Amino acid sequence: MPITTISTIAELRERLDRVRADGGQVGAVPTMGYLHDGHASLMRAARADNDVVVATIFVNPLQFAEGEDLDDYPRSLDHDTELAEAAGVDFLFTPSVDEMYPFGPVLTTVTVSEVSAGWEGITRPTHFAGVATVVAKLFNITGPVHGYFGEKDFQQLAVIRRMVDDLSFPVTVVGCPIVREEDGLAMSSRNVYLTAEQREAAPVLRGALDAGLAAIDGGERDPNAVTAIMAALVESEALAELDYVAAVDAATLATPDRLSGEVRLLIAAQVGKPRLIDNDGVTIH
Footprint of ligand PAF on this chain (CB under 6 A)? Answer: 30-32, 60, 63, 131, 134-135, 153, 156
- The residue type at 36: H
Residue whose C-alpha is closest to residue 248's, from 130, 149, 154: 154
Residues in CB range of 194: below 8 A, 6 or more apart: 202, 271, 272, 273, 274
What angle, rounded to 10 degrees, do the helices at 9-21 and 127-142 form?
50
Q: Work out how close the CB of 33 gets to ligand PAF at its nearest, in angstroms, rounded to a whole number.
A: 8
Q: Work out how close the CB of 11 gets to ligand PAF at its nearest, in angstroms, rounded to a whole number.
A: 20
Catalytic pick from 36, 39, 127, 146? 39
Residue whose C-alpha is closest to residue 44's, from 31, 57, 27: 27
> For residues 135 and 247, which CB has a smaller minimum distance to ligand PAF in the complex?
135
> For residues 7 and 255, which CB has a smaller minimum distance to ligand PAF in the complex?
7
> For residues 63 and 279, which CB has a smaller minimum distance to ligand PAF in the complex?
63
- Neighbouring CB atoms inside 10 A of 82's CB total 13
Cα(first)–Cα(last) distance of the chain, in Å? 46
Q: Work out how close the CB of 216 gets to ligand PAF at its nearest, in angstroms, rounded to a whole number.
A: 27
**Contact call for residues 246 and 173 (beta carbons, < 8 A):** no
- Neighbouring CB atoms inside 10 A of 263's CB total 22
* Residue 39 known to be catalytic: yes
> For residues 127 and 230, which CB has a smaller minimum distance to ligand PAF in the complex?
127
Tell me the C-alpha distance between 148 and 35, whole Å.
14
Q: Work out how close the CB of 135 gets to ligand PAF at its nearest, in angstroms, rounded to a whole number.
A: 6
Catalytic positions, please? 39
